[in-house]
């Protein structure tokens, strides 16, 4: 199916529009609806709820010398979401995919700008933008959209579940630079950069990155420290204080924070990682604050996935965020 040459102003350019379809339990009594029966295309009257925005881009991963393929992530994630049961989700609107037109100069940056416009437009409709990546270069676009939204939070808390700091220095922005770009943007505006990372691996970040994180006041928790319930509790206590002190949250989840056995379909699978149950506990805590203004899921690479496992994990996290948004908005 070929997308229209001139899509409506509320839609995003898509390479292949997703057809929401799946299992229908016609003989079942009670409410047996699934996501494919609930998600609606974004339109002029798509108010409130959650807006799904695909970021079908992995140019930043390529620039960062990773394994490309995450551009196919949003479609795979929708496929995994389609048959999930409805259990209290708010209205869910599908805005389609932001795409990157090749790898030429400025193409990634243009895609990030289009994502920012989509995020800001969702806020204008009182809808939570939930972005599905795509490489973690999605973060720079998600943040720019939040910064351009009506009444952006001045005391913004950035919560990243990730094995990597993504504070790299590079001539061009890529999947490893977004939070350094955000830090520089906020410093230029005289705004605080409050960045917390859960799941950092001591075997995936150089000393230069640890030093840069320290110089920027970044607090982090190692994957090793988040293996036990006691370690998780200590991290959650610190997170609770940060949530109480902010007036808005940007929640971002890189799937490579999870153990490689649970999330093999990423550019850099983790040998240890943070257990899924602990990742979900942190997400639940952030969502319960009622202060999340934008959320995204990054690094789903279907070509590297096994039995669609990573897509299923990502779908579980997306649905978890959407369900929590009912009371959080």
Query: Which domains are delineated in the chain?
Result: 35-328 (3.40.800.10)
- Quote the Cα angle for 289-291-296, to 5°: 105
- Quote the Cα angle for 188-193-198, to 5°: 145
Of 140, 161, 153, 122, nearest to 57 by C-alpha is 140
pLDDT band at 15 (very low <50, low <70, confident <90, very high): low
* Cβ atoms of residues 142 and 129 within 8 Å: yes
> Cα(133)–Cα(312) distance, rounded to whole angstroms?
14
Look up tokens 């997703």; give the residue.
Answer: 18
Mean pLDDT is lowest, of 9-13, 130-134, 159-163, for 9-13
Helices and strands (DSSP H and E) totals, the chain: 9, 9
pLDDT score at 6: 33
Look up tokens 């999930």; give the residue.
Answer: 84
Residues 6+ apart with CB under 8 A from 267: 61, 66, 67, 68, 69, 70, 135, 175, 256, 299, 301, 304
Strand residue runs (E) in the chain: 40-41, 50-56, 92-99, 128-133, 156-161, 194-200, 219-222, 248-254, 292-298
pLDDT score at 7: 34
pLDDT band at 14 (very low <50, low <70, confident <90, very high): very low
pLDDT tens-digit series, residues 88-141 = 999 999 999 999 988 888 999 999 999 999 999 999 999 999 999 999 999 999
Q: Which two tokens stand for residue 303?
A: 């070509």
pLDDT tens-digit series, residues 17-56 = 789 999 999 888 899 999 999 999 998 889 999 999 999 9
Average pLDDT, the chain: 93
């Amino acid at each position: 199916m070929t997308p229209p040459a001139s899509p409506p102003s509320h839609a995003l350019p898509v390479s292949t529009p997703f057809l929401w379809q799946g299992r229908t339990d016609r003989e079942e009594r009670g409410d047996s609806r699934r996501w494919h029966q609930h998600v609606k295309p974004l339109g002029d009257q798509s108010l409130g709820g959650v807006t799904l925005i695909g970021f079908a881009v992995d140019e930043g991963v390529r620039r960062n010398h990773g394994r490309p393929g995450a551009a196919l992530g949003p479609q795979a994630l929708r496929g995994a979401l389609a048959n999930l049961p409805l259990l209290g989700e708010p209205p869910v609107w599908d805005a389609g995919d932001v795409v990157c037109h090749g790898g030429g100069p400025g193409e990634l940056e243009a895609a990030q700008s289009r994502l920012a416009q989509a995020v800001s437009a969702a806020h204008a409709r009182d809808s939570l933008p939930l972005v599905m990546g795509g490489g973690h270069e999605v973060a720079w676009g998600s943040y720019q959209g939040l910064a351009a939204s009506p009444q952006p939070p001045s005391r913004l808390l950035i919560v990243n579940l990730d094995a990597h700091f993504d504070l790299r220095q590079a001539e061009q922005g890529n999947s490893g630079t977004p939070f350094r770009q955000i830090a520089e943007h906020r410093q230029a505006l005289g705004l605080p950069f409050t960045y917390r990372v859960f799941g950092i691996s001591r075997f995936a970040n150089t000393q230069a990155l640890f030093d840069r994180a320290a110089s920027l006041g970044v607090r982090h928790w190692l994957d090793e420290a988040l293996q036990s319930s006691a370690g998780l509790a200590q991290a959650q206590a610190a997170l609770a204080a940060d949530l109480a002190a902010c007036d808005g949250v940007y929640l971002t989840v890189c799937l490579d924070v999870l153990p490689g056995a649970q999330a093999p379909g990423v550019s850099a699978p983790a040998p240890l990682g943070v257990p899924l149950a602990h990742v979900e506990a942190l997400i639940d805590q952030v969502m319960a604050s009622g202060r999340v203004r934008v959320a995204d899921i990054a690094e789903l690479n279907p070509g590297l996935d096994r039995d669609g496992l990573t897509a299923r994990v990502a779908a579980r996290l997306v649905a978890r965020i959407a369900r929590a948004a009912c009371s959080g908005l």
